[in-house]
Amino acid sequence: MSPDERRAALVAALTEKGSLSPDWAPSVAAVPRHAFLPETIWADEGGGDAECTRSEEPERWLRLAYSDLPITTQWDDGADDGTRSTPTSSASMPTVVVEMLADLGAEPGHRVLEIGTGTGYNAALLSHRLGAEMVSTVEVDARVSARARTALRGAGYTPEVVCGDGSLGWGVRAPYDRIVSTVSVRHIPPAWLIQTRPGGVIVSPVSPLLGGGAVVRLRVDGEGTGSGRFTRSSAFMMLRQQRYEGAPVDDYLPGEWPGDSGRSWTELDPEAIGDDWLAQFACALALPDVYYRRNGFGEGWTWWLFDTAVTSWATVDSVPGQSWFEVRQSGPRRLWDEVEGAYRRWESAGRPGYERYGLTVTPAGQTAWLDEPGNLLK
């Protein structure tokens, strides 16, 4: 199949799936996704990320370019040491791309700022529909930015491409009617609120520390406050400025485990949370300053919970076949009790989905809520 035929097939598949709205279909039909991909890409077709080089496997490379799959285009911030551990740039899954564009609600005449240029494909879709003069896009990685600019020009699109810190937005062309982020954040940066016109919309993936992730759609009011609901689950790469590295375990636990911890038991297997993206997300929204690490032992797993203030820790041992699980907790907070409490409240509320949760964001911070802004999570 030719690129045009594959692009038409992708449009048909996304339309049949109900993801592609009629207003964005002409742009997806017109913009050549393959023109924004590098020579070597990686994609998971069911067996983990597998490398594909265009010159060696041209048919497979083109098929992947128009598959409804995320395509990794960079590892480890572009490190050239021959290893690959963490994907750090990609072409997002087309389903996610078009659904987020639908969330954005951008219309001709709107000025749009994109955070995370990546390959440039999303900026091209925006340029096709809105006009390139209405689109600015910011990318922190100089090589990724330069390649996207070249690809955009080669495809006939000339939005403003900026190499810079996306957490600062791009004040030069503010205010914007719409801001869309293609990287995930833990906290909506204040600059995005400030640079959004009253009545404007911010769409961004949010990934709390404890786990899970979802796309939020915020409407910004005349006071600089953004509020809105989550729309769908998401798993995006983190904005570099908001990556989190926890303190060493020794900062929490001087000496040997179990230290001065108290011992208790729980009926809740921590793997019940770890295996459920929505459950993780619900707990994480309620406990934004708690994170975990997970270590294998024998046939089971030990969950380590920590607070970002480095005051408290907990461990829970998940052992297959057991109905009770050992808990150790130390510090002024009982972190496992807090996590279990958040999980039980989620269960009691009927296991609400993403769309029942929301955020209210001001330049001073953000709060999460269930069903309505006054019903804060705690």
368 within domain boundaries:
no
Do 284 and 159 share a structural domain?
no
| 62 CA to centre of own chain | 26
DSSP 164-198: S-GGG--GGG--EEEEEESSBBSS--HHHHHTEEE
Tell me the per-residue pLDDT of 252-285, one tens digit each, with 9 for 90 and over: 998 888 999 999 999 999 999 999 999 999 999 9
* Residues whose CB is less than 8 angstroms from the CB of residue 18 and which lie 6 or more positions away in sequence, other chains included: none
Q: What is the pTM of this model?
A: 0.95
Confidence class of residue 49 from pLDDT cuts 50, 70 and 90? confident
Known catalytic membership, residue 145: no
Do 167 and 70 share a structural domain?
yes
**Residue 62, Cβ neighbours under 10 Å: how many?**
19
Residue 235 buriedness (CB in 10 A; 0-12 / 13-18 / 19+): middle
Confidence class of residue 225 from pLDDT cuts 50, 70 and 90? very high
* Catalytic entry in 92, 136, 207, 318: 92
Tell me the per-residue pLDDT of 296-316, one tens digit each, with 9 for 90 and over: 988 999 999 999 999 999 999
Measured CA to CA, the distance from residue 305 to residue 316 in angstroms comes to 8
Do 147 and 37 share a structural domain?
yes
285 within domain boundaries:
yes
What's the full length of the chain, in residues?
378
The domain boundary residue, chosen from 147, 165, 183 = 183
357 within domain boundaries:
no
226 within domain boundaries:
no
Ramachandran region of residue 189, left (φ > 0), alpha (ψ -120 to 50) or beta?
A: beta
Strand partners, 330: 313
Tell me the per-residue pLDDT of 165-213, one tens digit each, with 9 for 90 and over: 999 999 999 999 999 999 999 999 999 999 999 999 999 999 999 999 9
Do 260 and 175 share a structural domain?
no
- What domain range is 325 assigned to? 249-348
Residue 216 near residue 203 (C-beta atoms within 8 A): yes
Question: What total of structural domains would you count in the chain?
Answer: 2
Which among 228, 347, 184 is positioned nearest to 278, based on CA atoms? 347
Q: Which residues of 308-364 form beta strands (DSSP E)?
A: 313-318, 325-330, 357-362
240 within domain boundaries:
no
Which among 181, 180, 218 is positioned nearest to 199, based on CA atoms? 218
Q: For the chain, percent helix, then strand, then coil, each to nearest 5?
A: 35, 30, 35
- Write the CATH number for 61: 3.40.50.150
Measured CA to CA, the distance from residue 66 to residue 36 in angstroms comes to 11
